[in-house]
Structure 1
Amino acid sequence: MDVELFERGRAEVAPSAVHVPHWLGAERQRALLAACREWARPPAGLRTVRTPGGGTMSARQVCLGWHWYPYAYAPTVVDGDGAPVKPFPDWLGELSRDAVADALGPRAVPERPYDIALINFYDGDARMGMHRDSDERVPAPVVSLSLGDTCVFRFGNPRTRTKPYTDVELRSGDLFVFGGPSRFAYHGVPRVHPGTAPPELGLTGRLNITLRVSGL
Structure 2
Amino acid sequence: MLDLFSEEAPWSEPLAEGAVILRRRVRDEADELMTLVEAIASQNPFYHRITPGGHRMSVAMTNCGDFGWSTDARGYQYSGRDSVTGRRWPPMPDRFRSLAVACAQEAGFTGFHPDACLINRYEPGAKLSLHQDKDEEDFNQPIVSVSLGLPAVFQFGGFERGEATQRVLLEHGDVVVWGGPSRLRYHGILPLKPGIHPRTGGFRFNLTFRRAFR
Q: TM exceeds 0.5?
A: yes
TM-score, structure 2 length as denominator? 0.88
1: distance between equivalents of 2:167 and 2:10? 15
Partner residue, 1:91: 95
* Offset at residue 3 of structure 1 (A): 7.0
Partner residue, 1:74: 79
2: distance between equivalents of 1:20 and 1:151? 15
For structure 1, the residue ranges without an aligned partner over 5 or more in a row are none
The answer to whether structure 1 residue 210 and structure 2 residue 208 are counterparts is: yes
The answer to whether structure 1 residue 125 and structure 2 residue 125 are counterparts is: yes
Q: Deviations over 1:66-95 (max 9, x none)?
A: 1212311111111x1211111122322111
TM-score, structure 1 length as denominator? 0.88
2: distance between equivalents of 1:9 and 1:90? 25
Query: Alignment length, in residue pairs?
Result: 205
16-25 or 83-92, larger mean C-alpha shift:
83-92
* Offset at residue 209 of structure 1 (A): 0.4
* Offset at residue 163 of structure 1 (A): 2.4
Letter in 2 for 1:173: G
Identity of paired residues, percent? Answer: 30
Query: Is the 8 Å Cα contact of residues 150 and 196 (structure 1) preserved in structure 2?
Result: no
2: distance between equivalents of 1:212 and 1:165? 23
Superposition RMSD in Å: 2.0
Moved over 4 A (4+): 1-4, 6-9
| Aligned residue among 10, 13, 26 for 2:15 | 13
Instruction: Give the match's secondary structure for 1:185.
Output: coil
1: distance between equivalents of 2:118 and 2:14? 23
- Quick one: structure 1 residues 92 and 3, their matched pair in 2 at CA, closer, same or farther if it must change by over 3 Å? closer
2: distance between equivalents of 1:121 and 1:209? 9
Larger strand proportion of the pair: 2
Instruction: Give the match's secondary structure for 2:89.
Output: coil
Partner residue, 2:145: 144
Instruction: Give the match's secondary structure for 2:144.
Output: strand
Letter in 2 for 1:25: R
